[in-house]
């Protein structure tokens, strides 16, 4: 069933985890990378408070991950299970665990300068939830049925103490090693419980023997190091044995045990779940006691969940203004704080300012889709944040937007073109690869400057003394081959002195471009060229017939890099262009980067950069900034962000 359940912080530390079957840590790492850092999914990653059902499941290898995120505390709750299984209650589990964990450990989680959260006792709560949800089985709304389930649980079919005991022992034992031995007579057992009850049955035998020979406290000594409350055995007597049954309906007192988990005063350890376990261990022979413990934990969990629910409802309701004077005062206070800072931002505060930011981005030629996504991301990030002293809302938004843009535009792996070419053309002896020419191809819509940018790249490579072959893959437009021939002639003259060599490979018009490209690569390998640059015909991105030939092209030419040229002049259409070209190379291949041409013609309005990166998550590698061969630049994120946010 469930493979693993982890509670981890955004700073990367796992606070609590339960593993049933070993899952490679790379599964969760990839999940974090894709959802939170690179934001590959259509839903922005940092969605606060969305339940696990709303968050799309993340699939990796054979695993499916259901997750939810508590933004305020920066905690991610993630459940990993095999994709083959269908677990209907998994969303409920993730949500409930989140409510319980946050309810129990909120104080500890907000402590600065530490990563330690004492949550050994959380095992109890998790087990309880898991049991409950499993029993509820396929019922869709377990939350509503909870009290019913609970009464069934404790009344009709009391889980026998050996089973309970076995689960506790399991925590000490490595879960992966527990084989599925004979099924013990636990009435409430479902699939998971069978697996868990394996060692339980064994242990119960041992425990039975121990009960015959020794007294109860001695058997509790068998419990293992996790039992924290053992040091205070006096307390359990007072609280649980004396008025135990009275307690089980006493919601108030149980409720008060929640905040005590973090404090250390004398009377409290009795309320800790650790103590509950111990009572169980010392008196587990009695059916009623075992029942009582289970019931009590269920009540506590229920009260926490109810609290969380109530809070959520309260939060949605408090929007109503509290009278005329109240609003007036708060408005003045808000204005004051807006200037002085130290204001906790709410959605209302942000709405207007975000509207302004969105307008600003649109003015910079960012496609509306991308602008909205950016603004929503920033807004989500800022709600609930306190502004610094003397920091206005606008300044805060500016700062957040800068960070957000930087994160979006920064590529995951930076490109060092010369290095990559060297690695391919003269591989190290240990890598067992054969030397071959490095193949780059350039695609794009008509008239964006494919050939021009190709010759700019060629010029750059020639300056670095590479031997370059230009393949005329545009076998369609009249004059395309001659145009490249002119470029090659110019480049030859320009770089003859610096030691670069360039040649044109052309087969005239009307031939299949993919075949020409393939032949060019073969020819280059034969003649010892370092780099092959393949030009392609411009094509309209929404013309299915023209786009489909790109897949064949990618298969035949096997380019190391496919770059798309997009012009900075284009507006909203850039999103569709980038998407269609990115998808055109078949399932196994996508674009490797963009060249944004004509950046010199748009001034500050470089929004196209953002639009295409937003659409594809493919980085911008180069920008064209002029008419000369040397006017090709590496893309600098800082430059782009400055231009986008400048308000001239």
Partner 1 sequence: MSLQQTLKDLLEASLTPSPTVILFGLAFCLLAPILLHFLYSTATPYTTLPSVLLLGPPGAGKTALTTLFERGPLDLPLAKTHTSQVPSSIELSINSDDPSSASYKTNLDEAGATAKKFLLVDTPGHPKLRASSLAHLNSAEPTIKSSLVSDGGAKSKIKAVVFMVDAAALADGDALPSTAEYLYDVLLTLQKRFHSRNGSRAPASMPVLVAANKLDLFTALPAALVKSNLEAELGRIRAARSKGLLDSGVGQDDLAAGEEGDWLGGDGSEKFSFAQMMEFDVDVDVIGGSVTGDGPGAEKWWKWIGERV
Residue 563's H or E segment, with its range, is: strand 561-567
In angstroms, give the least distance from the CB of 579 to partner 1: 21
The SS3 call for residue 312 is: helix
Which listed residue (163, 387, 455, 580) binds partner 1 by CB under 8 A?
387
Which listed residue (388, 499, 586, 603) binds partner 1 by CB under 8 A?
388
> Given its phi and psi angles, is residue 646 left (phi above 0), alpha (psi -120 to 50 degrees) or beta?
beta
Which listed residue (329, 418, 486, 522) binds partner 1 by CB under 8 A?
418
Closest CA to 58 of 37, 84, 28: 28
17 binding partner 1? (CB under 8 A): yes
Closer residue to partner 1 in complex, CB, 113/526: 113
Task: Select the span of 356-364, 376-384, 490-498, 637-645 touching partner 1 (CB under 8 A).
Answer: 637-645
Which listed residue (316, 389, 426, 587) binds partner 1 by CB under 8 A?
389
Closest CA to 21 of 69, 68, 79, 75: 79
346 binding partner 1? (CB under 8 A): no
The SS3 call for residue 510 is: coil
Closer residue to partner 1 in complex, CB, 305/409: 409
Pairwise CA distance, residues 169 & 214, whole Å: 19
Task: Select the span of 209-217, 405-413, 445-453, 579-587 touching partner 1 (CB under 8 A).
Answer: 405-413
Q: What is the 3-state secondary structure (H, E, C) of 281-329?
A: HHHCCCHHHHHHHHHHHHHHHHHHHHHHHHHHHHHHHCCCCCHHHHHHH
In angstroms, give the least distance from the CB of 410 to partner 1: 5
Residues 593-622 touching partner 1, rule: CB under 8 A, are 599, 622
CB atoms within 10 A of CB 367: 25
Closest CA to 384 of 431, 347, 428, 339: 347
Q: What is the 3-state secondary structure (H, E, C) of 186-207?
A: CCCCCHHHHHHHHHHHHHHHHH
Task: Select the span of 84-92, 172-180, 260-268, 626-634 touching partner 1 (CB under 8 A).
Answer: 626-634
In angstroms, give the least distance from the CB of 614 to partner 1: 14
Which listed residue (29, 182, 215, 313) binds partner 1 by CB under 8 A?
29
- ∠ CA 313-317-318, rounded to 5°: 120
Residue with tokens 């780099």: 531
Phi and psi at residue 19, to the nearest 5°: -115, 130
What lies within 8 Å, CB to CB, of 101 at 6+ separation is: 7, 16, 75, 77, 119, 122, 125
Residues 487-526 touching partner 1, rule: CB under 8 A, are none
By CB under 8 A, the count of residues binding partner 1 is: 64
426 binding partner 1? (CB under 8 A): no
Pairwise CA distance, residues 589 & 346, whole Å: 43
392 binding partner 1? (CB under 8 A): no
In angstroms, give the least distance from the CB of 206 to partner 1: 26
Task: Select the span of 7-15, 99-107, 240-248, 482-490 touching partner 1 (CB under 8 A).
Answer: 7-15
Question: Under a CB-based contact definition with an 8 Å cutoff, are residues 485 and 578 in contact?
Answer: no
The DSSP 8-state label assigned to residue 389 in this structure reads B
Closer residue to partner 1 in complex, CB, 153/223: 223
Residues 89-148 touching partner 1, rule: CB under 8 A, are 110, 112-116
Binding site for partner 1 (CB under 8 A): 6, 8-15, 17, 25, 28-29, 32-33, 36-38, 74, 110, 112-116, 342, 385-389, 403, 406-407, 410-414, 416-419, 423, 428, 431, 460, 463-464, 599, 622-623, 625, 632-640, 642-643
């Amino acid at each position: 069933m469930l493979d693993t359940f982890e509670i981890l912080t955004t700073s990367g530390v796992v606070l609590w985890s339960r593993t049933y079957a070993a899952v490679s840590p790379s599964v969760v790492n990839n999940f974090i990378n894709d959802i939170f850092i690179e934001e590959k999914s259509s839903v922005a990653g940092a969605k606060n408070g969305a339940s696990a059902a709303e968050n799309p499941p993340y699939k990796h290898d054979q695993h499916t991950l259901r997750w939810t995120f508590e933004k305020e505390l920066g905690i991610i709750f993630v459940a990993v299970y095999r994709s083959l299984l269908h677990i209907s209650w998994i969303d409920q589990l993730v949500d409930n665990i989140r409510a319980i964990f946050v309810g129990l450990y909120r104080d500890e989680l907000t402590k600065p300068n530490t990563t330690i959260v004492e949550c050994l006792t959380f095992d109890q709560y998790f087990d309880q939830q898991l049991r409950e949800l499993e029993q509820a089985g396929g019922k869709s709304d377990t939350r509503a049925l909870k009290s019913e389930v609970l009464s069934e649980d404790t009344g009709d079919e009391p889980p026998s103490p050996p089973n309970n005991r076995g689960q506790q022992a399991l925590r000490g034992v490595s879960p992966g090693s527990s084989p599925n031995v004979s099924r013990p007579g636990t009435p409430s057992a479902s699939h998971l419980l069978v697996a868990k009850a394996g060692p339980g049955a064994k242990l119960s035998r041992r425990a039975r023997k121990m009960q015959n020979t020794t007294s109860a406290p001695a058997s509790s000594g068998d419990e293992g190091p996790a039992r924290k409350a053992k040091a205070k055995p006096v307390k359990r007597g007072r609280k649980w044995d004396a008025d135990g049954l009275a307690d089980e309906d006493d919601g108030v007192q149980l409720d008060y045990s929640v905040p005590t988990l973090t404090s250390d005063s004398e009377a409290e350890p009795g309320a800790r779940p650790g103590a509950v376990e111990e009572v169980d261990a010392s008196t587990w022979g009695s059916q009623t006691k075992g029942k009582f413990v289970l019931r009590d934990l269920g009540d506590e969990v229920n009260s926490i969940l109810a609290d969380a629910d109530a809070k959520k409802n309260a939060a949605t309701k408090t929007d109503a203004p509290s009278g005329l004077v109240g609003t007036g005062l708060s408005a003045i206070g808000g204005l004051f704080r807006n200037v002085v800072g130290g204001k906790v931002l709410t959605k209302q505060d942000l709405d207007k300012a975000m509207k302004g930011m969105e307008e600003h981005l649109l003015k910079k030629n960012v496609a509306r889709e991308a602008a909205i996504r950016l603004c929503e991301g920033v807004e989500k990030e800022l709600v609930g944040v306190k502004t610094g002293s003397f920091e206005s809302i606008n300044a805060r938004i500016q700062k957040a937007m800068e960070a957000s843009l930087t994160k979006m535009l920064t590529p995951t792996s930076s490109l060092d073109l010369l290095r990559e070419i060297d690695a391919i053309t003269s591989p190290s002896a240990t890598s067992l690869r054969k030397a071959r020419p490095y193949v780059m191809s350039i695609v794009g819509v008509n008239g964006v400057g494919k050939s021009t940018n190709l010759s700019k790249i060629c010029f750059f490579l020639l300056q670095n003394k590479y031997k370059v072959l230009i393949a005329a893959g545009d076998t369609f437009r009249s004059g395309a081959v001659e145009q490249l021939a002119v470029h090659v002639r110019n480049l030859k003259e320009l770089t003859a002195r610096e030691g670069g060599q360039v040649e044109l490979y052309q087969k005239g018009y009307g031939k299949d471009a993919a075949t020409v490209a393939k032949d060019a690569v073969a020819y280059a390998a034969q003649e010892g060229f370092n780099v092959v640059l393949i030009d392609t015909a411009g094509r309209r991105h929404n013309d299915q017939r023209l786009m489909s030939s790109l897949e064949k092209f990618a298969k035949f030419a096997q380019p190391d890099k496919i770059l798309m040229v997009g012009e900075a002049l284009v507006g909203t259409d850039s999103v569709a262009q980038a998407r269609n070209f990115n998808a055109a190379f078949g399932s196994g291949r996508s674009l490797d980067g963009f060249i944004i041409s004509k950046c010199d013609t748009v001034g500050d309005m470089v929004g196209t950069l953002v639009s295409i990166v937003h659409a594809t998550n493919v980085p911008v590698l180069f920008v064209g900034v002029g008419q000369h061969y040397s006017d090709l630049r590496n893309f600098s994120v800082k430059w782009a962000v400055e231009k986008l946010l400048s308000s001239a």
